[in-house]
Structure 1
Amino acid sequence: MTDETIGSVGYRDVPAEQGGAAGRTWWDANAEEYLDEHGDFLGAVEFCWCPEGLREADAHLLGDLDGRRVLEVGAGAAQCSRWLAARGVEVVATDVSGGMLGRGAALNASTGVPVPLVQADARRLPFADASFDVAFTSFGAIPFVPDAGAIHREVARVLRPGGSWVFSVTHPLRWAFPDDPSTHGLTANRSYFDRRPYVETDTAGRVAYAEYHRTFGDHVREVVAAGLLIEDVVEPEWPADNQEVWGGWGPVRGAYLPGTAIFRTRSAG
C-alpha cells in the first residue's frame, strides 16, 4: 500500500475472515515491489531461510532429500524450490498469491530451472493424504492467517509417516519491540502477550494487510495439536558480514535480539 491508500495502521482485532483473506490481495499487489527490493538477497535459485541469511546449503535443516518428494508452502516466487529442483529434488511449490506465482513463472523461464507452481491456500492444500516426505516454508503463510493451526493440520495430513515439516517465522520475542532496525528497536514498547494482529486498513476501512503474533508457547501448542513432534528450534545469529536491512531486521538489532525461529518437526509414525 502507498501512503495515499493507507487509512490506518496499528494493533487491533479484526474479523478472522477479513484478516485471513487480506494476505492474498496484498501479495498480489506488492509482489513486484517486494522482489525488486529483496530479490538480489533472496536470489532466483537460492534457498534462504531468513533475513539473517541462513542458507539451506549450509544448515541442512531438511536433511537428506534423495528420493524424497518435497512440498513448499507459501513459496512466494519459489526461489527455495528452484534451488532444490536444480539439485534433482522432486518438489512442488504452492502459494495463495497469483501475483507471486506469476513472478515465479517468470523466474522459471529466465533461470531455466522450472518447478511446478500451484495456487493454493495453505489451510486447504489440494493434495492427497500422505503424498509428501518433506514440507517446508520460509516465512510463508503462517504469519498471515489467524488460524495457523489449520496449516499445521493440513501439512500433517499430506505428510507420510515420519515426514518432516520445517518452518521459519519471525521470532516471537520480536513482537514486544518496535519494528525498527535501529537502536530504537531495542527497547520493548508493548506486551509480548498482546496477540492482536498488526493491521493496515485502506481509506475505506477495509483490512488490506494483517500479520499475526504467536508466542513460543502458541507455536508449540499448534504444532503438537496437529499431531506433529518438535525435534529442534533453530535461532540463527546475525552474521558479521550481513549488512542487509530488511524491515525491522538488520545488524544493529541482530547483535542483541533473535529475529527468526525455525521449527523442525515431523509427523508421527
Structure 2
Amino acid sequence: MTDDRAGAATHADHADPPGVLRRPVTDAESRRANRGWWDADADDYQAEHGGFLGDVEFVWCPEGLREAEARLLGDVAGRRVLEVGAGAAAAARWLATAGARPVALDLSIGMLRHAAAAADRTGVRVPLVQADALALPFTDAAFDTACTAFGAIPFVADSAAVMREVFRVLRPGGRWVFSVTHPMRWVFLDDPGEDGLTAVHSYFDRSPYVEQDESGAATYVEQHRTLGDRVRELVGAGFRLVDLVEPEWPEGHEGIWGQWSPLRGRLFPGTAIFVAEKPAD
C-alpha cells in the first residue's frame, strides 16, 4: 500500500505549498522519483504501518479488508500468483501459506529489503524480483493470478500499459485484482478531520500530484484516474470487469491512516478494488 500521500492531490491547503504542484510527468520521471522515494521512505513506512499490514497477511486497504475474508482472488491453492508493487511482500507470504506459488515484484530495493527481513522473521519465503511494472520480466501466460494492494498503478504515468503487461503474463481465464485510492478522494482535502469533508478539486483533473526539489526534479509523483478511466484501461487491455468493490468503514475501526479515518470512511469510500479476468478463449 502507498504511504499517507495516497490521494495526495487533495492536500491540506487550497494552494500548493512550496515544492508541490500539478504538472505532466513522463514514465521515466515517475520511475526515478518514486523509486528514490520508496527506497528512502521504506524504513519509516514499515515502522508506521507494518503493524497494521502484518508480516504474513493480505490487507487490501486502510479499511482493513482482508483477502482471507473477501476471497477476491478465488481459490489460490496451487496457483501461480504475481504480486505487483509488493512492497514488503506481506500479501505474497500470506498467499504462500494459503497454498499458492507467489512471486513478489517491486521497483524499490528498500521495500524488498524489508520483504527479505520479514522472510527471515517468519520463515515464509517467496521469490523477490526487483523490476518495473511497465516491463514485467516474465513470459506470456506465466501466472494464473495477479494482484496488488495500492502498489505500482498510482505511480506510473501510463497505467494502461501496466494493465496490458499484466494481461500478457496472465494465462487465459486468469484473474487480476488491484486496489487503489478511491478516485473521488482526489476531490477532497487530504485531511482525516472535518476539513477533509469539503470538495475543493475537480474530479476530472487528471494532472499528477508532484513534489519536487529546488532544481525542479520530481521526488514523488502520484497519478489520478477516474473510475471510468480505470474501466477503460482494463477493457482496453482485454480484461472483463467482474466486480468493483468499495469497502465500507467497519464498526469499531478507529485507526487513522493518512487521510483515511472513521469520520471520512463512514461518509464516502476511500478505496476502490477492481476485480477483472482475462477471457478464457
TM range (shorter): over 0.9
Q: Does 1:156 align with 2:167?
A: yes
Q: Does 1:40 align with 2:25?
A: no
1:155-174 equivalences in 2 (<5 Å): 155-174=166-185
Partner of 2:23: 12
Partner of 2:227: 216
Out of 171, 192, 206, the residue aligned to residue 181 of structure 1 is 192
% identical aligned pairs: 61
Out of 210, 213, 221, the residue aligned to residue 202 of structure 1 is 213
1:74 & 1:192 partners in 2: Cα distance?
25
Q: Does 1:67 align with 2:78?
A: yes
How much has 1:14 moved relative to structure 2?
3.2
Out of 195, 213, 238, the residue aligned to residue 227 of structure 1 is 238
2:270 & 2:245 partners in 1: Cα distance?
11
1:56-135 equivalences in 2 (<5 Å): 56-135=67-146
Letter in structure 1 aligned against 2:142: S
The question of whether the paired residues in 1 share the 8 Å contact of 2:141 and 2:169 is answered with: yes
2:214 & 2:96 partners in 1: Cα distance?
43
Q: Which runs of 4+ in 1 moved over 3 A?
A: none
SS at match of 2:212: strand
Partner of 1:193: 204
Partner of 1:53: 64
1:250 & 1:172 partners in 2: Cα distance?
16
The question of whether the paired residues in 2 share the 8 Å contact of 1:7 and 1:204 is answered with: no
1:61 & 1:199 partners in 2: Cα distance?
32
1:214 & 1:101 partners in 2: Cα distance?
27
* Structure 2: 5+ residue stretches without partners: 1-16
The question of whether the paired residues in 2 share the 8 Å contact of 1:228 and 1:265 is answered with: yes
How much has 1:84 moved relative to structure 2?
1.1
How much has 1:219 moved relative to structure 2?
0.4
1:177 & 1:128 partners in 2: Cα distance?
41
The question of whether the paired residues in 1 share the 8 Å contact of 2:26 and 2:157 is answered with: no
SS at match of 2:117: helix
SS at match of 1:44: coil
Query: RMSD across aligned C-alpha pairs, in angstroms?
Result: 1.2
SS at match of 2:174: strand
Cα deviation per residue 1:87-120 (whole Å; 9 max; x = unaligned)?
Answer: 2211100000011001100101111111110001
Partner of 1:3: none
* Count, aligned residues: 264
The question of whether the paired residues in 2 share the 8 Å contact of 1:7 and 1:202 is answered with: no
1:97 & 1:223 partners in 2: Cα distance?
25
The question of whether the paired residues in 2 share the 8 Å contact of 1:7 and 1:205 is answered with: no
SS at match of 2:200: coil
Q: Does 1:259 align with 2:274?
A: no
The question of whether the paired residues in 2 share the 8 Å contact of 1:74 and 1:96 is answered with: yes
SS at match of 1:165: strand
How much has 1:15 moved relative to structure 2?
4.0
SS at match of 2:118: helix
2:34 & 2:178 partners in 1: Cα distance?
18
How much has 1:7 moved relative to structure 2?
5.5
Q: Does 1:139 align with 2:147?
A: no
